[in-house]
Amino acid sequence: MPVIHKSTIRRARQAERRREQNRATMNTVKTLVKKVQSAVAEKKAEEAKTLLREAASAIGKAVSKGVVKRNTASRRISRLTLHVNALSAPRS
C-alpha cells in the first residue's frame, strides 16, 4: 500500500478548493462577456457600454485573483471595447 503523506492530502484539498473558486470566477467572467457580445449583436450601444464596464471589472478581478493572466485579460478587454466602440462610431 502506498504511503500518503498528510501534506499530500492537504494539498489535494487546497487544489480542489482553488479549482472551484477559479471556475466560479471564470463562469462570472464568461457570462458577463456573453452579455456584452449579445448587446453588441442586438446593436444596443448604451447597454453594451454599461455591460462592458462590468465585464472589464470582472476580468480585472480575475487577474488579481490569479485566475487569468494579465495579457490575456488585457486582450479580452481590448477586443470587447473594439466591438462596443464600433457600434457608436459614425458610419460613412
pLDDT one-digit tens code per residue, 2-36? 778 999 999 999 999 999 999 999 999 999 999 99
What dihedral angle (degrees, nearest 10) is formed by the CA atoms of 16, 25, 29, 77? -100
Task: Report pTM.
Answer: 0.86
Would you say residue 27 lies in a domain?
yes
Asked, for residue 72, whether it belongs to a domain, the answer is yes
Tell me whether residue 1 is in a domain. no
Q: Which domain holds residue 21?
A: 6-88
Cα 48 to chain centroid distance, Å, stands at: 16
* CA–CA distance, 45 with 17 (Å, rounded to integer): 39
